Copies of this chain bind each other. A is one copy, B any other.
């Protein structure tokens, strides 16, 4: 066995380490279809956990799920100029609706469409069109809709989970009678995302509005949650857009107010995607593979029977089944503990390492000696793989929720400390340059989150571009002092977060 299950390590080659963690945990793989990924059962089970939690949160805040067409007519896209501009370069276009076999036995597209259709890169235009039919009066508002769907944005340099041509996501779309309500909704969903990231994924995030250049095409204001990966780069983990009346005007979403006068609606949209699986991997995993926060772990506990003789096998399996039952009757985060017995007939070491690499929070070995002593041998994924503790079998099921809570707190704390260690308030462009050139001497990557006074001005982006750094957002939380933009000298009320990013 090498020192670590994953080669290369994070320090040796961070991007390659990421690919190897994905492979070792059997989460996904690139597909033969250019830019598209195949999400394998373990990766999809993590996404299902994320969906279940988010879906409950969306419904608790009054949203309903619906489903809108995959295809968008070109004429819809044309209506919002900035929106088209933002997405035109990455649209998959359907131009034909049948195939014919050529005399050479090759399939050839036929049945040319009068108007080509775009495979949705996002659904503001098609959902806006439907909203315009559904809204007549202020009584029909607010409209609060969410869609779980696949979207396509053509991608020349795909990276599994982080950037793929097709990905899975949810997109919320809402329409309101007033600007205030729409802004409130935008911020409410930003909060839902931040709560989900911090509570369920154990990923600390910074929330705030993005500069104009980084806005969603067509939005008045884009808010994001930004997380730090272990190479110091930022990953935008969710966005919530206040769309003003831009899409309402483009799509004709009008309502008659109480006085009868017609007005345009105010709309929002917000989304998170399978990218979050990538965020979880890069936040928590180590050189032994995936580390899963308990709330999204498909299995929170794996029971590993150890035996040599058929009699031992029977005894040990019976004990495992009793423990499984007890654990299923126990709750963590308002749900029964998810437990799995792995009784496959294979070498114990190999089996254990599979679960290490797949990120199961608690591994529990049970053998004849344990049974005799009335104990189980427990290993935590957040601790070194050989650090075992013997716990009494009698109280074990009752202890599991506490252990999972401790792991969850530990992962969050560790990620926040890491982020804090790699964050710095900086007060000159020179200091920013030095920071991202490696002044900090970090083990992986250079720089981190630079908290800097900058104006929302093209000159700032131009100055940061050579450093491959962008303004991620203007943090909404925590105390801050006004200052002057380090590039333009304009006065600004707060610092922004500058970082390299995924």
Chain A interface (Cβ within 8 Å of chain B)?
31-33, 36-41, 44-45, 47-48, 64-74, 77-78, 84, 88-101, 105-107, 109, 111, 116-119, 126, 129-130, 145, 149-150, 152, 154, 166, 168
Contact = CB atoms under 8 A, between A and B. Distances in A.
A69 B31 contact: yes
A90 B109 CA distance: 11
A74 B107 contact: yes
A497 B77 CA distance: 49
Kindly report how many copies of this chain are found in the complex they form together. 2
Contact of A36 (B70, B77, B166): B70
Contact of A97 (B37, B91, B96, B129): B91
Nearest to A98: B89
Contact of A94 (B31, B92, B99): B92
Given A88-B107, A93-B95, A33 B73 contact: yes
Nearest to A47: B67
A52 to B, nearest CB: 10
A65 B41 contact: yes
A71 B41 contact: no
Contact of A107 (B38, B64, B78): B78
Contacts of A48: 65
6 contacts: A33-B73, A84-B99, A88-B107, A92-B117, A93-B109, A95-B95
Contact of A93 (B33, B94, B126): B94
Nearest to A145: B41
A96 B93 contact: yes
B33 A69 contact: yes
B69 A166 contact: yes
A64 B149 CA distance: 19
A74 B96 CA distance: 13
A118 B98 contact: no
B154 A73 contact: no
A117 B119 CA distance: 12
Contacts of A65: 41, 44-45, 48
A168 B126 CA distance: 18
Contacts of A149: 150
Contacts of A37: 69
A44 B59 CA distance: 13
A93 B89 contact: no
A38 B130 contact: yes
Contact of A31 (B92, B100, B119, B126): B126
A275 to B, nearest CB: 14
Given A33-B126, A99-B118, A66 B94 contact: no
Nearest to A55: B48
A73 B107 CA distance: 11
